[in-house]
Amino acid sequence: MTDSIRTTKGRRRRYDSVLDTIGDTPVIRINRIGPDHVTVYVKVEAFNPGASVKDRLAVNIIEAAEREGRLKPGQTVVEATSGNTGIGLALVCAAKGYPLVVTMADSFSVERRRLMRILGAKVVLTPRAEKAVGMYRKAAELADKHGWFLARQFETKDNADIHEATTAQEILADFDGERLDYIVTGYGTGGTVTGIGRVIRKARPDTKIILTEPSNAALIESGTPQPREADGAPAQGHPAWQPHPIQGWTPDFIPLVLQETLDKSFFDALIPVPGAEGIAWSRRLAAEEGIFVGISAGATFAAAMKAAESAAPGSVMLVMLPDTGERYLSTPLFEGIVEDMTDEEREIMRSTPGYQMG
């Protein structure tokens, strides 16, 4: 219980664009579901305007291309995405006036399609049997055919660069002069871990970086190299990949952006996580901490809890939570979360005489 009413004072600035609100996401302490011997913080990327970490790379891909003359005024942008990058690009393109076409496998949640479309994007679905490689190749075909700008989130240097310039710097500032023993993150494109790794390895060499991936799509753990085209694009799907429920994590290839982390050993341990554990921890974060995040966030937190089991007493851990839970309404995250009243809720309703439902 707080001693007095909470107050706010404003941010002491007004923003010229929604894009200026990207980044500077809060680090929040976990108070109820963390282990007693470790202090756990989470960096909640749902506070970005598009509600995910991918807003960062989206704005940098577009603005770097503008600066370098690779993106022309009014040119259509096209990209393959499982959803969050597409939502981020749709937000950026809406603010800047670029048409956007997104290609996405039809296995991803319908909420993602609707969010991109309300932001003005066109969404082209590809067969789920062709996996992420299929939607990637469709985007490349469209770019070649129509002269569109291909965002190339999985290969572009602009991805990890923005995490080096923003995400990593925010972490250093938030833990300036304070202990930070672990950073835990998953990977989709690999931009977050690569950008953070570049900075943390130099500035905080004693901080261990824990990487995680789905246990049934353990591409890194397999040790099998990713076949690539000359430009770094995947030549084919990775043989260790299997379908998993952690949307936004681990496509069916190892992205070139992630390859830098593998080559330069930007992580100290790898902890695979089953999808069911990710869902369970997402639900606990919502119900017991009030932190409403997606399945990938829950899976990252699950890996953190496993790492905490062997952490020394007094350790401090930061867990990256990539997105909000609202774009998972049609996924297993909400399985069993009913629309109508439960028996318990009906019992509460009947405990007083008025305003009864049938």
Rounded CA separation 205/266 (Å): 10
Question: One of 43, 52, 54, 138 is an active-site residue; which one?
Answer: 54
Number of separate helices (H) and strands (E) present in the chain: 12, 10
Q: For residue 184, what is the DSSP state?
A: E
Residues 6 or more apart in contact with residue 299 via CB below 8 angstroms: 186, 212, 214, 246, 249, 273, 275, 277, 278, 281, 282
Question: One of 82, 215, 296, 315 is an active-site residue; which one?
Answer: 296
Residue 13, phi-psi category: left (phi > 0), alpha (psi -120 to 50), beta (remainder): beta
Residues belonging to the chain: 358
Is residue 54 annotated as a catalytic residue, yes or no? yes
Asked if residue 50 lies in contact with residue 58, where contact means CB atoms within 8 angstroms, the answer is yes
Asked if residue 261 lies in contact with residue 200, where contact means CB atoms within 8 angstroms, the answer is no
Using the structure block, give the residue that is written with the tokens 């680090």.
27
Rounded CA separation 149/100 (Å): 9
Nearest to 150 by CA among 192, 200, 198, 100: 100
Annotated catalytic residues are 54, 296
